Amino acid sequence: MNESDAIIFVVDDDAAMRRSLAYLFDSAGWQVATFESARDFLQRYDGHAPGCLLLDVRMPLMSGLELQQELARHAIALPVIFLSGHGDLAMAVQTMKAGACDFLEKPCKDQVLLDAVSRAVARSVDESRNAASANTAQSALARLTAREREVALLMAEGKASKVIARELGISDKTVQVHRHNTMEKLGLHSAAEVARLLMAGGQI
């Protein structure tokens, strides 16, 4: 996952503004997708593509603020940049508290907008990589039995087999078998690697 995979999603009911922004981002080398309404975006976005959402505040049927709230309800962590000609301080504060990356007023200098988008995309790509890493780790850990997971957690704490055996009430030989099976299933070679995988999978 890298920035070349990212898409800049533009949601604005002003057709001229959509064309202008699409041209700007395309010229800067970004992939762009435009939408004339928040509902149009929700119907077409699959919830997975990294990038950022450039969003007008005031639109018919569903406002930009309502779209931001809808994304939060569905746990879609696409970074949001508001670009509005009707902004005020209270509105900016509200959107930022709700997790927006930036709140920019129209007209906005091209470089200021491109810099904001670059920051948002970098954040999105990092989050996508972390999510992919967590999913991979969780899939690997799902191959372990309950006892192997217990052994793995104690291994990650740096505990020796004899200590693990005592804490779990099993023999040292049985711990050695579980250690071997754990390493084999995970394709790892050290307790430190097991610890990193457990951390990536949110287990510790």
**CATH number of domain containing 60:** 3.40.50.2300
Q: Is 137 part of any domain?
A: no
**pLDDT digits 0-9 by tens, 68-102:** 889 888 888 889 999 887 767 777 778 888 788 89
Domain limit, last residue, from 84, 106, 132? 132
Same domain, 127 and 105: yes
**Structure-block tokens of residue 7:** 């898409």
Same domain, 29 and 116: yes
Q: Are 75 and 48 in contact (CB under 8 A)?
A: no
Number of domain units in the chain: 2
Same domain, 101 and 46: yes
- For the full predicted model, state whether its pTM sits above 0.85: no
How far is residue 163's CA from residue 158's CA, in Å, rounded to a whole number? 10
Name the pLDDT band for 2 (thresholds 50, 70, 90).
Answer: low
How far is residue 3's CA from residue 76's CA, in Å, rounded to a whole number? 18
**pLDDT digits 0-9 by tens, 131-152:** 778 888 888 899 999 999 999 9
Range of the domain at 169: 144-201
